[in-house]
Amino acid sequence: MHSDSLEKEIRRRQRSLIPMNLVVVLLCIAAAISFFFMPLLIVQVDDFSAVTGESTENAEGVESVESAEENPLAMLDGMRISASFTGMDFIKITFAEDPVNTLFATVGDAIGTQSNELAARSLLVMASEASGREIDEAAVDAVTQSLKSLEEAKGEEAVDGAIENVVSTLKTQFDPDGSDESWNDEELRTQLRDMYDSTVQHNDGNFTTEAFICVNMSQAMGGNEGETEGESKVYTSFADLASGMLGSSASEENPLDAIPAWIMPVLGGVMILLGLVWLILALFAFFRIFAKNKRFMMWYVKLLGWIPCGLFGVVPLVLGKLVNDASVTAALGMLSTLSWISGACYVLLWLVSIFWAFPIKHQIRKLSRK
């Protein structure tokens, strides 16, 4: 083949790589975004008896209402609680001075988005204990709405009105016709007011549903955790409450003390690298579009790109199939992930490489040797 026509053919082949480069850029950006900003790990709890090891069913198999004093987590029965961790969350936790408390803060922020429903369920559990009636799931939304008015109330008159609204909503659920002699509006009203005042007292004069739950749950724990100078520690945030319930705040031994100090930053560096390789490939693929030689190497993504999906997606899935232990299976059932997105990008990248990039690059190399 004539040298000029050969050169033209090589340039034509090089230009045919441009669409492929653009596809690679898009795949890499999608994988990087999913890694850094979408949940790599989602922990979702639907059955809190599996967490606490205590069943809420009686001998006849009928769900019974457990007192919040007996078990502060009773208010969570029937609710789906979830916390998710993105690549950025893992990086922040591993590089933090106190990884444990940073982890609790991340979990607390996630649960905080569900504080209104949690507060509603706590009141329904309390009212159910008083009336002996089962909780109707349809009442959760109504109580949640009434609690929002309490959260927005300013001034004593508005607070009293909001509390009356909550009492009325609960009465509609548990004593709609006023025939239940065990139901006492005044007692419930007084109890709600005490809980409101206690929340405001411990939360710098502010009422939020998160503080409402945490103050009353920490008081229900009766000082089992977080004792200070003979008084029970009262928490106002989910992060502090989780830390207190697990005893990390009061414990002299941090569970991560046994891990060498350099391990956590190394893990953080690995997390950064796993996301960075996608961005590096995206940059190379993009800038090669404008270069004479539009070919580039993908080996580093092919080597590392599968790890997030393999670690957070494939491993729990395989273990769930192989392990016969019920508690392990239940724990694994609480885990899910969106790392499948980067996994799909990884598979597509291999397909692009094998069936699109390689044939063209092979033809270019063959023409270049002539």
The pTM (predicted TM-score) of the whole model is: 0.77
pLDDT, mean of residues 156-173: 90
Q: What's the pLDDT score for residue 231?
A: 55
Residues 221, 199: Cα–Cα separation, whole Å: 15
Q: What is the pLDDT of residue 279?
A: 97
pLDDT band at 229 (very low <50, low <70, confident <90, very high): very low
The pLDDT assigned to 127 comes to 82
Write out the two tokens for 332: 């694994």
Instruction: Give the CA count within 13 Å in the CB-facing half-sphere of 300.
Output: 14
The pLDDT assigned to 62 comes to 41
- Give the pLDDT confidence of 322-363 residue by residue, as tens digits: 988 888 888 888 899 999 999 999 999 999 999 999 999 888
Which residues are paired to 231 by β-bridges?
228
Q: How far is CA 176 from CA 14, 47, 180, in A?
A: 77, 30, 9
Does 226 have pLDDT greater than 80? no
Q: Give per-residue pLDDT as tens, 28-75.
A: 999 999 999 999 999 987 765 555 445 444 444 444 445 445 555 555
Domain boundaries defined on the chain: 3-36+263-368, 65-245
* Weakest mean pLDDT among 115-119, 142-146, 246-250, 271-275: 246-250
Structure tokens at 277: 């390789």
Number of residues that make up the chain: 370
Q: Are 103 and 111 in contact, with CB atoms under 8 Å apart?
A: no
Range with top average pLDDT, 5-14, 39-48, 310-319:
310-319
Confidence of residue 219 (pLDDT cuts 50, 70, 90): confident
Higher pLDDT, 192 or 368: 192
What value does the mean pLDDT of the chain take? 82
Q: 10 Å Cβ neighbour count for 139?
A: 20
d(Cα 217, Cα 219) in Å, to the nearest integer? 5
DSSP three-state, residue 160? helix
Whether the predicted pLDDT of 87 surpasses 90: yes
**Nearest-10 Cα torsion for 253, 254, 258, 261:** -130
Q: How high is the pLDDT of residue 29?
A: 98
pLDDT bucket at 175, cuts 50 / 70 / 90:
confident
SS (H, E, C) 326-357: HHHHHHHHCEECCCHHHHHHHHHHHHHHHHHH
- Going edge to edge, which strands form the sheet with 39-45? 81-86, 39-45, 335-336
Strand runs (DSSP E) across 95-243, as ranges? Answer: none
CB within 8 Å of 220: residues ≥ 6 apart: 68, 69, 72
